[in-house]
Amino acid sequence: MRLSTIALAAALTLGASLPFTAAAATAASPATASSNQLWDLSQLYPSDAAWETERQALAAKQAAVRAALTQTFPKVQVVVDAPVQMERELAQLRQAAGSASARDLEPLLAAAGAALPDGRLPTSIEYTPGELRLRGVTLAPDEEAALSARLQAAGYRARLDDGSLVLRTEVSP
C-alpha cells in the first residue's frame, strides 16, 4: 500500500468524526451528539438574528472603547486590551504629575493606619507596588472581619498570611 493511500484513509477517517461546518454541528440530533459537540444557546439567543444583533452590539462597544483609548492617548498605536492599556496610561500620567495612586506606599499606609485597632503596630513593613505587608500584627477573628470591612470600603483587600497582614488594592492596573 502506498503512503499517499494511507494518508488519505487517515484523513477521511478523522474528517468523518468531525463536523465540517457549524451548520453540520448543530444539525446533529441531541440524542446522537456528544456533549462537547453541541451547545444549546437558545436560552440566550432564540434565533441567529438575535445572535448576530448581540455580536454587532458587542463589536460596536469594543470599537468605542478602542477609539476612546486611541483618541485620549494618541501614542498608543496597537490596542490589545483597551481597559488595561488605558489604566496603565492613566497610572503613568498620575506618576508624571506627582499624584499618588491607591497602589503607592502612602495611601496603603494611611488605609492600614485608619483601619487597624488602636495600639496595634507592626514589627516590620514590606512594600511592593500595590501591596503592603505588615508583619507582627495579630487580630482576633471579629477584629479581622471589621478591619476587612473598613478596608474594603476604602478600596482595599486585606488578609492574614503567615503572621502578616497583607493589604492590596481592589483594582490593579
Range of the domain at 57: 48-97
Write the burial class of residue 101 (CB in 10 Å: 0-12 exposed, 13-18 middle, 19+ buried): middle
Supply the CATH number for residue 161's domain.
Answer: 3.30.1360
Which helix (H) or strand (E) covers residue 167, if one does? strand 164-169
Cell numbers for 82, please give them.
483597551
pLDDT of the chain, 173 residues: tens digit per residue: 333 333 333 333 333 333 433 343 344 444 555 556 778 888 888 999 999 999 999 999 999 999 999 999 999 989 999 888 998 898 888 888 887 777 788 889 998 888 888 888 889 999 988 889 999 888 888 888 888 889 888 889 988 888 888 999 876 54
Radius of gyration of the chain measured on its C-alpha atoms? 27
Instruction: State whether 110 and 153 are in the same domain.
Output: yes
How many structural domains comprise the chain?
A: 2
User: Helix, strand or coil for residue 105?
Assistant: helix
- 126 belongs to a structural domain: yes
Does the residue 10 lie in any domain? no
* In-domain check, residue 9: no
* 118 domain-assigned: yes
Do 143 and 120 lie in a common domain?
yes
